[in-house]
Amino acid sequence: MSAIRRVASERVTRLSAKSSPYHTAVTLYDAQDTPGASTTRRQTRRVKRENVELNDQEGSNDALPAAVKKRKAKAKVVKTATSVTTTETKSRSPKKPKAIPQSLDVPHPTPERWKEAYNAIKEMRSRITAPVDTMGCDQAQWKEQDPKNRRFATLISLMLSSQTKDEVTDAAVAKLRIAIGGSLSVDAVIAAEEATVSEAISKVGFWRRKTQYIKQAAQRLRDDFDSDVPKTVDELCSLPGVGPKMAFLALQVAWNLNLGIGVDVHVHRITNRLGWHQRPTKNPEETRLNLQSWLPKELHGEINHMLVGFGQTVCLPVGPKCDLCTLSSAGLCPSAQTKKLSKRDSRNSASTSRVELDPGPKVEIEVENS
């Protein structure tokens, strides 16, 4: 690149006057430079251009103006700093997962008569066999021999259970086990084709997304946790597709660790119906934090299983069987519903009453004497 330094030369300008050839009343002026000044300026420019070009051809930076040198030096510094920053970003350790909150700043007050309601539900559940009792996440482990595979099977069952009934989840776990070789292990899931996993779990809700979650979680477990289920809530929640409810239940079933309450839609719905929250909670996480602030810790491990089964059989989402629930007659459930007869049932009942009250035509029997 050739650099030209502009040098202001001293010029002597003279004006010459002459009459306009078109109108005698108009005078024209011409500016004329002295020949010497013009020559000097041209020579100065030519010499400086030649010097700079010559030095550039020789590959030396000595003849470059100071401004050009500065720009080059600054460019090198910026480039070096950029490369260093990039290297640091690549070598930076992965971001730690956000900690799962375990308590409220201000504990939730203990509801009145909660213990009576709790014991009544527990007594009812002892007489009921619900789907969760035979097909829940704690049942998936018993088909495995290796302890790691048992814990992994529990985690897989929980990952498949969201937005899915226990019957469908249990069948999907069994089908997946057969599809990948007869055992639910981390290595078997990683080695399996994505299409194989998808076909096996296609009956559960959001099966496409769960297929990716299962594959990614298995890879993480092998890379970061020695192909085993982690022992902390935060590490479990760092896995794709795993939330607090799954994490707490996985720790209870897989590691026998009671670190919190697993709150699903059943626990969320029933505790709100019982009025155990000052204000209705908006989501399961809010419900969990409320419950953990007053419910005795020794009950944290069993409340999920108890209320899930109760919600599956008695306290249904739509059309709860309040007539079969002892909480209703004991006045322990503010949401208890009195069964109302439909219009059709009312008509049938009225018709039946009329039939029963109407004696029908009177029949008289007389005996003729011969």
pLDDT by residue (tens digit) across 59-110? 444 444 555 455 544 444 444 444 433 333 343 445 566 789 988 999 999 9
Indicate the SS3 state at residue 75: helix
pLDDT of residue 89: 37
pLDDT of residue 354: 43
Read off the pLDDT of residues 126-158 as tens digits, 9 standing for 90 and up.
999 999 999 999 999 999 999 999 999 999 999
pLDDT of residue 167: 97
How far is 117 from 51, CA to CA, in rounded Å? 99
* In contact, 229 and 152? CB cutoff 8 Å: yes
Indicate the SS3 state at residue 368: coil
Indicate the SS3 state at residue 246: helix
pLDDT tens digits in sequence order for the chain, 370 residues long: 445 455 455 555 677 777 777 777 777 777 765 555 444 444 444 444 444 443 444 444 444 455 545 554 444 444 444 443 333 334 344 556 678 998 899 999 999 999 999 999 999 999 999 999 999 999 999 999 999 999 999 999 999 999 999 999 999 999 999 999 999 999 999 999 999 999 999 999 999 999 999 999 999 999 999 999 999 999 999 999 999 999 999 999 999 999 999 999 999 999 999 999 999 999 999 999 999 999 999 999 999 999 999 999 999 999 999 999 999 999 999 999 876 555 565 555 444 444 343 444 454 444 444 4
Which amino acid is located at 115 in the chain?
Answer: K
CA distances from 180 to 140, 153, 168, 184, 339 (A): 15, 13, 18, 7, 49
Provide φ and ψ at 135, rounded to 5°: -135, 20
Provide φ and ψ at 247, rounded to 5°: -65, -45
pLDDT of residue 21: 73
How far is 296 from 64, CA to CA, in rounded Å? 81
Report the CATH architecture of 114-330: Orthogonal Bundle (1.10)
* In contact, 258 and 297? CB cutoff 8 Å: yes
Domain spans in the chain, listed from the N-terminal domain onward? 35-75, 114-330
pLDDT of residue 22: 73
How far is 187 from 192, CA to CA, in rounded Å? 9
Catalytic residue among 70, 245, 339, 362: 245
| β-sheet bridge partners, residue 17 | 29
pLDDT of residue 26: 74
> Residue 341: CB partners within 8 Å, gap ≥ 6?
349
pLDDT of residue 5: 52
Nearest to 162 by CA among 59, 262, 271: 262
Q: Where are the beta strands (DSSP E) in the chain?
A: 13-19, 27-33
* Tokens read off for 231: 């022992």
pLDDT of residue 271: 98
CA distances from 203 to 96, 131, 245, 264, 357 (A): 34, 17, 22, 20, 55
pLDDT of residue 97: 65
How far is 264 from 287, CA to CA, in rounded Å? 9
pTM for the predicted model, two decimal places? 0.67
Q: Is 245 a catalytic residue?
A: yes
Phi-psi group of 106: left, alpha or beta (phi > 0 → left; psi -120 to 50 → alpha; rest → beta): beta
| H or E stretch at 35 | helix 35-58
